[in-house]
Each structure stands twice: as structure tokens, then as C-alpha cells.
Chains A and B, each alone.
Chain A
Amino acid sequence: MGAVVMLVIVSMVTFGIFFQLPKLAGQTTDQLAASYVGKAPTAEAIADVKERLGLDDPLAVQYGRFVKGVFTGQDFSNGPSVEHCAAPCLGYSFRTNEPVLPTLLDRAPVTLSLAVGASLIWLVAGVSIGILSALRRGTVFDRMAMATALAGVSLPVYFTGLVSMAVFVYTFRLWPNGVAYSDFTENPGLWAWNLVLPWVTLAFLYAATYARLTRSQMLETLGEDYIRTARAKGLPERTVIGKHALRASLTPIVTIFGLDLGLLLGGAVLTEQTFSLPGLGSLSIHSILSGDLPMVMGVVLLATVFIVFASLIVDILYAVVDPRVRLG
């Protein structure tokens, strides 16, 4: 229920920002329409665009039409012909005249590939480094790992990404043709190989955060009374760490992981941009830069859906992990 409300609110806010703010800033609907006509706007063409997009209608009506389109589809008069946009209709791009939804669906697999691969790497790497660091607190390993993690947190993706490209692509020529996305269904091997660099770059950033978080959680848990109890029972140390300590330490990590993954699925803007991956992130950048409002709306809505679902799943998982959260 909360999830649905969230979706409605986000769509309203986004809609409002893109269709109302320009007016508040003093732009007339004529100017707004003019930016979509082309190089030499004639009064006729502007009027036509205004008519077609319903820019003169009150905002609520425009929003209502948008929502109605999502559920029942929408007809657009495109000059002489009328185009029907079927049920989950998010409209047409101002720039390319492509329908929004299919474009999104076309781009989504790229972002999905990037996010899933990277998240697996950072989860495994970050958590295991964090655990090792906690168990060897104060050793050289711990200091090195935490220094690297600090670097990982501080360095932006467009820096680490470019450095890794310079080193691995241009110097060692591991990817002689550059890094380009290829479809999973066509060639899984090539798909993975081409994504290695973006995965590692993106994972480095997150693994650093996760390593630090896991380490501090682990250290806190190891000081708990129930860990002492587990040892007093005569459990071998690996059971104490691997079962009792890990279970309690991972709870907050599950939460953050869900939200991070949800956020990334809406588009890993910097990584996609750095590696020229045609995902949702680069789509949103291009749409924003070119003022392609329906496309931006679509990306934002899709991202919201991901985040809302991610937090929903996290809530459910949390109850599975921590019995104290369960009702009753």
C-alpha cells in the first residue's frame, strides 16, 4: 500500500517539476512547444505541437491524461494519422518519437547485467574482506584492507573507471576492440568478458563501503555476550564466527544491499557513462540534457518502481533474518 502511494507521489512530483516549473520560471507554453518543433519553428507548427501535447491544459488534466495512458493506453494525433499507444503507455519521446516504454525495456537489460554482476562481486568481496579484517584487527592485512577501502569510498567511478580503462584496455590491450556491451542471450561468455571492467570498477566503490560496514558490525558482534556463550558451549571457532557472529552481523548489510541494488537498477549513471554502456543511466543523462521530458518521466518512474520493490523485499527479508521483527 505504502509502495503504491510512493509511486503516485513520485510520478506527481516528477510530472510537476517537468511540466510546471518551466512555466513558473517565465517560459510560455509557446516557448516550451517551440523547443520541440525543430530548427525553424513556425507559428503553425508551434500551435500544432501545443495542441498535440495538450500543453495549454491545466496541469492536473495533463497529469490525469498521463496516468490514464499508463492504464488504458493513449491516442496521439500525429498530424494526419492517429497513433495508438497500448496499455502501459508512457508516451513518446519528444526527440526521437520512439515510444518510451519499449525504449526503457530495451535499455534495462544492460543496467540489469551491470548491477547484478557488480553487486555479486562487491557482496562477496566486501563481506569477506570485512570479516577477515575484523578477525585480524590491527594486523597488516587489516590496515591495508581498510586503507584500500578508504580509497575505494573516496575515489569516484569516473576516475577509477578511466584509470582502469587506460591500464587494461589501452596499455595491456586485454580488450583490443574496447569495451562494448553484447547481449547475454547471444554469447554469455562475451557478455561477461565485456562487462568485467565495469563490474569491477563499480564493485570496488561498493565493496569498500561493505568491507568497512561488515568489519565494524563483526567487531561489535564479536563482543556480544552470546558469542561468549557460543564459545562456552564448546563450539569450534569457525562455527562461532561463521554461524553465530555472521548471522547477526549480516542483518544490516542485507538492508543496505537491497536498497543499493534497487538504486543501481534505476541506472548506474556514472559507470554507464564512463564505459559507454547503453543502459538506463546513460539514457537518463541524454534525456535530461536534451529535455526529453516523457523519457525522463519514464526513467524516473522505472527507477522508483525498482527502489520501492527493493525496500519491500528488504522488509520481508529482514523478518526472515531477525525473528524479533516478526509479528506476534
Chain B
Amino acid sequence: MSTVYEPSAAPAATARAFLEVRDLRIHFPTDDGLVRSVDGLDFTLERGQTLGIVGESGSGKSVTSLGILGLHHRKNSRMSGEIWLDGRELVGADPDDVRRLRGRAMAMIFQDPLSSMHPFYTIGAQIIEAYRIHNAVSKRVARKHAIDMLGRVGIPTPDKRVDDYPHQFSGGMRQRAMIAMALSCDPELLIADEPTTALDVTVQAQILDLLRDLQQEFNSAIIMITHDLGVVAELSDRIMVMYGGRSIEQGTVEELFHSPQHPYTWGLLGSMPRLDRDRTDRLMPVKGSPPSLINLPSGCAFHPRCPHAQGPGSPCTTVRPELVATAAHSGHRVACHLSPEQRLDIWENQIRPNL
């Protein structure tokens, strides 16, 4: 599925994945110092696959996705590294070329569909606009397409709703319209930034179902950004866990849920409430708060909160762990100084029995 990333390897055009992010860094200079929102991120994604990115607020999930779309202001952000989309490099590309790819090759679904749609334009007008930038068609054809899209995402009587304004839609319908807009140009890469966070649970399930169906239909690659592990488990093929602007564990859903290797991933799994436990034991939160992105802790960024970190002077506090494969040729990679044996031992004997 994904190849183990070797920094020294020369980039080979033939072996490139559909989406390949290499050593991506997105920094924001501020008055308080340099904010390292994303600091050396690597991942790949193939067509038809879904990558779930999980992590707490400020771990760099959204900044990464906006970076892929080229939506960071060049003036107040610094981006380096490589983003390869279908053989094209995006970080160094002309902003106008990236602009032309937006909406057509890559599209995004935002978290809050009410604030993400223009309140003064009808749903139809906004979809038509998205379609007509990339397709030279008449308004009438575009309108037909918009109605068609609204119908496909499950909006009843789309020919009437097309002329409604966003405030006349319910939350779930609005998110469907947002999805219709994002999919209007058949994007090959769809980034969904917490698409169900603002919705109630029953609607959540419908939207996830819809995304899965549409993915099968369009064969697009999806990046699903969320802090809800349930959503990730439901939809993803692979999962990337982010912490402090870096990827600390990557693997398939199976690997991440059944044999997670990083203490932070254990913490995330422990944070999922379980109804079959006593109320006091249901939640095991990760103690402490997310690190400051201006002053990341030395060594492993997670060490101040890590219950398994070795004391001062150990590699945990001095050396930043690299993301390495847990076994040869395995796609399961983890960035932790604990030895594989220690990790297996802690997981089997301390963590798993209590989850």
C-alpha cells in the first residue's frame, strides 16, 4: 500500500502515489515567535482510499489540509517540503495553477456548513459558480448539473431546493449541499475537515454513508480529518495520528485499533467512552494539555504527558523520534523511543485490559 519513506531515496516519478506529502512544513511567523503548525509531515494516499487524520486541536490537521489546497496566505505563512498530487508538485507551483486545481482536482468539505456557505447567495448559485469556473458550460446546463448533484446527495425535490438560501436548509441538508458543491467537478481528492462535528448523531451516520457511497461512485481519494475515532474507524482505510505538527503513528485501521504502538494513540483510544464499563472507568483522558507550537518540548513532543516516558536525560527528552516501520516492509510506522518489546508489553499487559 504505502512504501516506507527513505529520506535519501531519489524521488522516482513512476513510483509516486496519487497524493504524496514529503517533509511538509508549514510555519507561521508571529509576534510571539515562529508557530510550527506542521513540522515535517510525510504520508501517501492512493485513489479510492480514505486516510483518516486524527489528533487533538492544534495538532496540525486542518493546517495540513489547507496547505494541500494552497489556501494559506503566502505572505504570513512559510511552506516547505513537497506535495505531489497526481504527478504535479504543489508547494513550489504557481499560485494560479494551484487555484485552477482547487475545486476541480481537489475539493474540501468544511466543518460548519452554515458559516461555510455564503448567506446572500442561493445554494444553487453557489454550486453553479463552483461548476462553471472549471467547466465552460452555459448557466442552464450548470443549473441542471447542480440540481442533479443535489439529488445525488439525497436532497428531496432538488429542483425546488436549488433556489433556496443556506439559512432555509437544516444542518444536515446544508452539509449535503456542501458535499454536492465539493463534488460538483468530480474531484480526485476530497478533503473532509470534521464534516460531521456540527451535526447530530443520526445525521452524522447518514453523511458518512453518503461519503462512502460517493467515494465508490467517483473513486476519489478522501482525507478525513476528525478527532472522533468512531468516524475514522467507520470510514478509513488508513489512519495517521498527529501530535504537535508531526505524524506520530500511521497504519491501517486494523493496526491502529488492535495493536497501536504509540502511547498517545493509547491515550486516544482510552478517551473513547465505553458504555460497558462503570461510569468512573469509562473515560481515561490524556492528561495535560496540547503543546505550544511555538515552544515544542524537546525530544519527543509528547514526553511531558507520556506516562511511559523515561526520565530526564533519556532519549525521550533529548532526541526527536523518527517515524519508523514497526516491522520490515510494514506500513505501520511509529515515532517512539520505547523499544518494540516494551511497547508490546505495555500494550498487552497494561493498556489493552483496561480499554
Contact = CB atoms under 8 A, between A and B. Distances in A.
Contact of B118 (A231, A237, A244, A321): A244
Contact of B71 (A226, A232, A324): A232
Contacts of B122: 323
Interface string B87-122: 000000000000111111001101010011111111
Given A225-B115, A324-B165, A231 B102 contact: yes
Contact of B119 (A231, A237, A324): A324
A17 to B, nearest CB: 44
A interface majority secondary structure: helix
A229 interface: yes
A249 to B, nearest CB: 11
Given A234-B100, A234-B103, A225 B116 contact: yes
Interface in B51-106: 66, 69, 71, 99-104
B167 A324 contact: yes
A226 B118 contact: yes
Contacts of B181: 233
A224 B102 contact: no
Contacts of A230: 118
Contacts of B110: 225, 228-229, 232
Contacts of A224: 115
Contacts of A229: 110, 116-118
A228 B165 contact: no
A232 B103 contact: yes
B69 A236 contact: no
Interface string B150-184: 00000000000000010100000000000001000
B118 A234 contact: no
Contact of B120 (A233, A236, A321): A321
Interface residues of A, number: 20
A323 B181 CA distance: 20
A322 B181 CA distance: 22
Nearest to A251: B120
A104 interface: no
Contact of A235 (B66, B107, B129): B129
Interface in B119-168: 119-122, 129-130, 133-134, 165, 167
Residue from the set B71, B104, B129 with the largest chain A CB neighbour count within 10 Å: B129
A230 B107 CA distance: 11
Contacts of A244: 118
Nearest to B108: A232
A226 B133 contact: no
Contacts of B107: 232-233
B102 A232 contact: yes
Interface string A197-240: 00000000000000000000000000011101111111111000
Nearest to A244: B118
A232 to B, nearest CB: 5
A247 interface: yes
Contacts of A121: none
Contact of A233 (B66, B103, B115, B119): B103
Interface in B159-213: 165, 167, 181
Interface string A308-327: 00000000000001111000
Contacts of A228: 66, 71, 110, 116
A236 B119 CA distance: 20
Contact of A226 (B104, B116, B167): B116
Given A226-B116, A228-B110, A229-B116, A234 B71 contact: no
A323 B117 CA distance: 13
15 contacts: A225-B116, A230-B118, A231-B71, A232-B69, A232-B102, A233-B102, A234-B104, A234-B130, A234-B133, A234-B134, A236-B99, A237-B99, A322-B119, A324-B165, A324-B167
